[in-house]
Structure 1
């Protein structure tokens, strides 16, 4: 890492653009590596002026509305993922731009398993890390899951494998790819950041664009949106495909609750999922196949895959079972911010009485989801936010009188009405198909609020029953 910094950063006019979690991590690492280097920090938020760690004789702070001023005067701009390049002047050369992701991969690409996809990347990254650790490999989990890779550099040994969850924002302009790349799926998402869907697709494909013939790309062999994108590319890496069925085109496949290695039609069972219920649904079966394929690419084959799954647990806010109260079951799927994720959830959760949808509208196409909902047996659809209003207007004309379809300005009121309208032995599911930024900080904040409202309702029932019992004594 020191060699890369000496050649690319040392003695240059350096700007760190964006001081979120990753930007702060970049600053700490640069200041440690180059204590006498002058570094400029830029961010729109003026409250960052009060952060003590930025007060350094060789640190220049440019916070506020002019934070993008004079970008062309810098030799190197280390950009945080959330800042759109649409804000930059057209004259700014791409060569000036880099990122923590790119700098890290330039040094550690040969030790890195990168995972991206519109949905499933956090679960799959955690699965790969868990399986590697269970097989006694040294593994570190970094990236979009919440830990910037610069924060773990001191822990990396030559034998360490780095499992790197990568968002489209992190991949947008990288010019280096990990040794093993996992591309799970590509659906419409983040259209508020990217100019169009094609730009988003190409950002995702950067995970493999710079691979060599010695590297591996893992992807679903029957996912048309991914297969078509790869077939129309010039990628040279080795391909490992996975999917449902046992066709020779699939290297890792799923049939009858079992996962197989497929070598020219010769099947070797590597995991029997019968009775394993903590990763429910077709989407998690795909995540498992992707994780197993990544380990195969890394040369990890001689251990019991299934035994290592026993103590693995899925993510919060991803089809999270909150509890069953008076026979009513409640599920938190707040992470489902696109239509495809909602359809996965509806295929997994049975006997849904009330579905909660909506939030911040990013212009996503909801026609496929509306078709699915119109043909479902769900009696109650509750909506919120601008995205919810648009879904409601598309769905309502297609429903019969037996359906209840309502829009709520207030999220809490929507949840309270959903609790009331969920019958015994039926399920209530929050699976919004929309981002949360209109009312919440992120999907976790939204999911936590949903969980709290449900738990408050359950606690009120317990208190009422205690009062009644006390009165009868």
Structure 2
């Protein structure tokens, strides 16, 4: 960890806890700051706040009193989930109090370079692929952020020999000032989180912060197949490394004649890659580009792509049982994700779908259901998905109570050579606390078939 003195005796408010808030408050306390933590959950129900109180940190719980901002704070470290239209944040902005997120704090103390990944889809898979490729290549990667340990905790342990591979959300990127990754990846951009950002423009602006501080000494790996991502790249000062699944490029990562290339060098044949899905080729290309820029050999990259079957709950291969292949795509909480999952297979599919009803219809799925031979539905949206399946001409449709019951029914409807795919196209909250819980129940039910 770098020696950082500028927080000594600085009055800092950590707003919102969870893992990142606890880590930020603890770190700032060790750096000599006068730390106050403010969390909405009452102290009696707040074990994290109680732990900080025992360390001698001032804790105020049970609400966000705006008058707290009159105490002369010089900085706010905000939980990424708290939107900027929160009254406390709006008042802090009026008072001119700087606001950062914990990722910025991590960058300030880190001796290690960062490889940072953002985008609407594919962040987690790309982050995992980069980490695995760097590790296979003999580098010393550490994984942080949304799919790893809290960034500032990792940064405390990292040395100049490490590389921190981090997945970043738009929420986190809104709270940076000096954060500057050696390599940044922008996977793609679609409308998302508009309830938080308000407009598509604000969302894209937040994502583009990943390259805001980059110079010609750093790299931005960017999707060359999207106008919006290339527009972001046009404003970057970094060296632009494009990737494309649709055309051969003069340089960067691309597909050509059934193989994956970086610049003019063939790295691997497409038929050697284990991870299914056209959308995953974007993730593979961008991760490979980051690995090559980091000095990883083709052999190490090939080794990873020969064995990588996907991140848990994201088109994750579970097993093959009696010539049926089972895939867990519980993270598919929207129609676009399910479209991508279905398009990943040429084999006949028995699709398990359903979940929380957000008021939308599912007619967008119809053109993608051509190789779906049967549908098993569950949850609030079951009838809507069944209507879409009927319109698509699917004759075998069954409704069950939940995912656990869907698995044996799907098996009975399948034949050797089929894919049995959980890709719900819906959030899980009508029946399950998280998509992870839903996916774990699917996995358990698959193993029960054995």
Is residue 2:232 matched to residue 1:236?
A: no
Is residue 2:305 matched to residue 1:304?
A: no
| Distance change >3 Å, CA 388–CA 106, structure 1 → 2 | farther
Cα distance in 2 for residues equivalent to 1:63 and 1:14: 16
| Distance change >3 Å, CA 454–CA 190, structure 1 → 2 | farther
| Distance change >3 Å, CA 57–CA 316, structure 1 → 2 | closer
| Distance change >3 Å, CA 110–CA 398, structure 1 → 2 | same
Kindly provide the CA deviation profile for residues 280-311 of structure 1, in whole angstroms up to 9, marking residues without a partner as x: 2223322221112113434x165534444255
* Equivalent residue, structure 2, for 1:339: 335
* Equivalent residue, structure 1, for 2:434: 442
* Equivalent residue, structure 1, for 2:319: 323
Is residue 2:39 matched to residue 1:37?
A: no
* Equivalent residue, structure 2, for 1:377: 371
* Equivalent residue, structure 1, for 2:158: 156
Cα distance in 1 for residues equivalent to 2:319 and 2:133: 28
Kindly provide the CA deviation profile for residues 142-187 of structure 1, in whole angstroms up to 9, marking residues without a partner as x: 1111211222234322232211111222213323332211011123
| Cα shift at 1:47 | 5.1
* Equivalent residue, structure 2, for 1:399: 392
Computed over aligned residues only, the root mean square deviation of the Cα atoms, in angstroms, reads 3.1
| Cα shift at 1:343 | 2.1
Cα distance in 1 for residues equivalent to 2:44 and 2:446: 35
* Equivalent residue, structure 2, for 1:470: none
More divergent stretch after superposition (405-414 vs 155-164): 405-414
Is residue 2:125 matched to residue 1:143?
A: no
Unpaired stretches in structure 1, ≥5 consecutive residues = 460-473
The total of aligned residue pairs comes to 442
| Distance change >3 Å, CA 219–CA 387, structure 1 → 2 | farther
- Asked if 2 retains the 8 angstrom alpha-carbon contact of 1:272 and 1:306, the reply is no
Cα distance in 1 for residues equivalent to 2:288 and 2:316: 23
Unpaired stretches in structure 2, ≥5 consecutive residues = none
Superposed counterparts of 1:104-143, under 5 Å = 104-108=106-110, 111-143=113-145
- Asked if 2 retains the 8 angstrom alpha-carbon contact of 1:177 and 1:206, the reply is no
| Distance change >3 Å, CA 453–CA 203, structure 1 → 2 | same
TM-score by length of 1: 0.82
- Asked if 2 retains the 8 angstrom alpha-carbon contact of 1:49 and 1:61, the reply is no
Superposed counterparts of 1:198-237, under 5 Å = 198-231=201-234, 234-237=235-238
| Distance change >3 Å, CA 259–CA 396, structure 1 → 2 | closer
Kindly provide the CA deviation profile for residues 219-272 of structure 1, in whole angstroms up to 9, marking residues without a partner as x: 1211344234545xx22221100113553455221123422233xxxx222334
Describe the SS at the equivalent of 1:55. Answer: helix
| Distance change >3 Å, CA 261–CA 30, structure 1 → 2 | same
Cα distance in 2 for residues equivalent to 1:320 and 1:451: 10
- Asked if 2 retains the 8 angstrom alpha-carbon contact of 1:321 and 1:332, the reply is yes
User: Which of the residues 2, 11, 19 maps onto 2:17?
Assistant: 19
More divergent stretch after superposition (331-340 vs 46-55): 46-55
